[in-house]
C-alpha cells in the first residue's frame, strides 16, 4: 500500500527521527527508510518465536538434568549442600517465587481469599492493614509448585548457570551433559547464550535487529539447536525439526533484509555529496 505524503510525515513523527535516523541515513528519504524499519521488525517477530522455543527447550533440559543430579525436585528453592546459589540467582529465584504467587493469587475468587484470611488471621484481619499489604501477606502464604516458579525465571537466569561462577559446581558436574560435545567449553556455550539474550532483550523493547547482531544471533541459535543434548552437531535434532518452518522463514527474511540494506548502501554510495556518501558507508559497515 502506497502511503500518502501527509501519512508518511505523520508516521515519521510517530516513529521519531531518532529511531529512524540510521535508516534515513542509509535510505536517503522517509519512504524507503520506513519500509526498511518495518522489514527489520518482521525479522524480529520471527526471531522472537524461534528464541522462545529455544529458551523453553533449554530451560526444560537444564531442569531435567539438575533434578537428576541433585536427586530432588526442589533443587531450585532448597538445593542440597554443599551447593549454593550465588546472590544474583537467589534474588532471581525470590522474584520468580513472588511472581508465581502473585499469578496464583489473581486467579482466586473472593471466597478463596477469605479462606486465606481465616487461616492467617485467627482473630480477624488487623485494623489498619492496607489493601496492598493485605494482598501481599496473602500471596506470600501461597504454596506454588516448582514448575510455576521455574516458568517465571527468565533467560537471564538460565544463561547465568553457564557463567564462570558455576564452572566447578554446575558445568563440570552436570551442565556439561546438557551440551555433551566434548569439544565444547563452558565459555563456548556462555557466549552463544549471551548473544541470544541480548537480541531477545532488544526485540522485547521493539528495537530492530540487523547486520552483525542478526548474523551472530542466527549463528547462536543454530549452535543451540544443533548441539543441545548432542555429542556432535546435528541439524536433524528434535528441536531443529520442530523449528524447521520458522527457521526457513527467518533465514529468508534475514536474506531479504541483507539484500535491501546492500541495495540501499550501493545507491547511497553513488550520491554526489561526499559527506552523505561517507555517512552511508559508515552505516553500511555497521549493518
Cell of 87: 546472590
* 194 shares a domain with 88: yes
Q: Each residue of 183-201: b (16+ CB within 10 Å) or e?
A: eeebeebbebbbbbbbbbe
Of 238, 243, 208, 224, the C-alpha closest to 158 is 224
* Structural domain includes residue 266: no
Residues 221/51, Cβ–Cβ less than 8 Å: yes
Q: What confidence tens digit (pLDDT) does each residue in 43-92 have?
A: 999 999 999 999 999 999 999 999 999 999 999 999 999 999 999 999 99
2: containing domain: 1-36
The pLDDT score that the predictor gives to residue 243 is 98
Cell of 37: 524499519
Which value, to the nearest 10 degrees, does the dihedral of the CA atoms of residues 177, 175, 55, 250 take?
A: -50
* Structural domain includes residue 159: yes
The pLDDT score that the predictor gives to residue 267 is 72
* Structural domain includes residue 45: no
Q: What confidence tens digit (pLDDT) does each residue in 123-139 have?
A: 999 999 999 999 999 99
Residues 47/70, Cβ–Cβ less than 8 Å: no
Residues 141/119, Cβ–Cβ less than 8 Å: yes
Count of the separate structural domains present in the chain = 2
* 88 shares a domain with 220: yes
Residues 178/253, Cβ–Cβ less than 8 Å: no
The pLDDT score that the predictor gives to residue 283 is 37
Q: Is 71 exposed, middle or buried (0-12, 13-18, 19+ CB in 10 A)?
A: exposed
Of 208, 189, 158, 128, the C-alpha closest to 58 is 158
The pLDDT score that the predictor gives to residue 3 is 83
* Structural domain includes residue 258: no
Low-confidence ranges of the chain (pLDDT < 50): 271-287
Residues 204/154, Cβ–Cβ less than 8 Å: no
Amino acid at each position: 500500500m502506497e502511503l500518502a505524503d501527509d501519512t508518511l510525515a505523520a508516521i515519521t513523527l510517530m516513529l521519531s527521527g531518532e529511531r529512524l535516523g540510521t535508516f534515513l541515513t542509509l535510505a536517503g528519504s522517509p519512504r524507503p527508510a520506513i519500509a526498511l524499519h518495518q522489514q527489520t521488525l518482521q525479522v524480529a517477530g520471527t526471531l522472537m518465536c524461534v528464541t522462545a522455543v529455544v529458551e523453553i527447550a533449554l530451560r526444560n533440559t537444564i531442569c531435567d538434568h539438575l533434578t537428576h543430579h541433585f536427586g530432588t525436585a526442589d533443587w531450585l528453592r532448597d538445593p542440597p549442600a554443599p551447593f549454593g546459589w550465588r546472590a544474583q540467582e537467589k534474588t532471581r529465584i525470590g522474584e520468580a517465587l513472588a511472581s508465581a504467587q502473585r499469578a496464583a493469587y489473581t486467579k482466586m475468587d473472593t471466597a478463596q481469599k477469605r479462606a486465606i484470611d481465616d487461616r492467617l488471621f485467627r482473630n480477624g484481619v488487623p485494623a489498619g492493614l492496607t489493601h496492598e499489604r493485605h494482598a501481599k501477606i496473602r500471596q506470600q502464604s501461597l504454596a506454588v509448585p516448582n514448575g510455576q516458579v521455574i516458568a517465571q525465571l527468565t533467560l537471564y537466569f538460565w544463561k547465568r548457570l553457564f557463567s564462570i561462577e558455576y564452572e566447578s559446581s554446575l558445568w563440570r558436574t552436570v551442565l556439561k551433559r546438557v551440551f555433551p560435545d566434548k569439544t565444547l567449553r563452558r565459555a563456548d556455550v556462555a557466549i552463544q547464550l549471551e548473544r541470544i539474550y541480548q537480541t531477545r532483550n532488544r526485540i522485547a523493547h521493539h528495537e530492530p535487529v540487523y547486520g552483525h547482531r542478526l548474523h551472530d544471533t542466527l549463528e547462536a541459535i543454530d549452535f543451540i539447536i544443533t548441539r543441545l543434548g548432542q555429542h556432535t552437531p546435528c541439524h536433524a535434532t528434535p528441536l531443529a525439526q520442530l523449528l524447521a518452518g520458522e527457521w526457513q522463514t527467518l533465514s529468508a527474511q534475514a536474506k531479504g533484509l541483507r539484500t535491501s540494506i546492500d541495495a540501499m548502501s550501493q545507491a547511497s554510495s553513488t550520491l554526489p555529496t561526499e559527506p552523505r556518501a561517507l555517512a552511508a558507508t559508515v552505516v553500511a559497515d555497521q549493518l
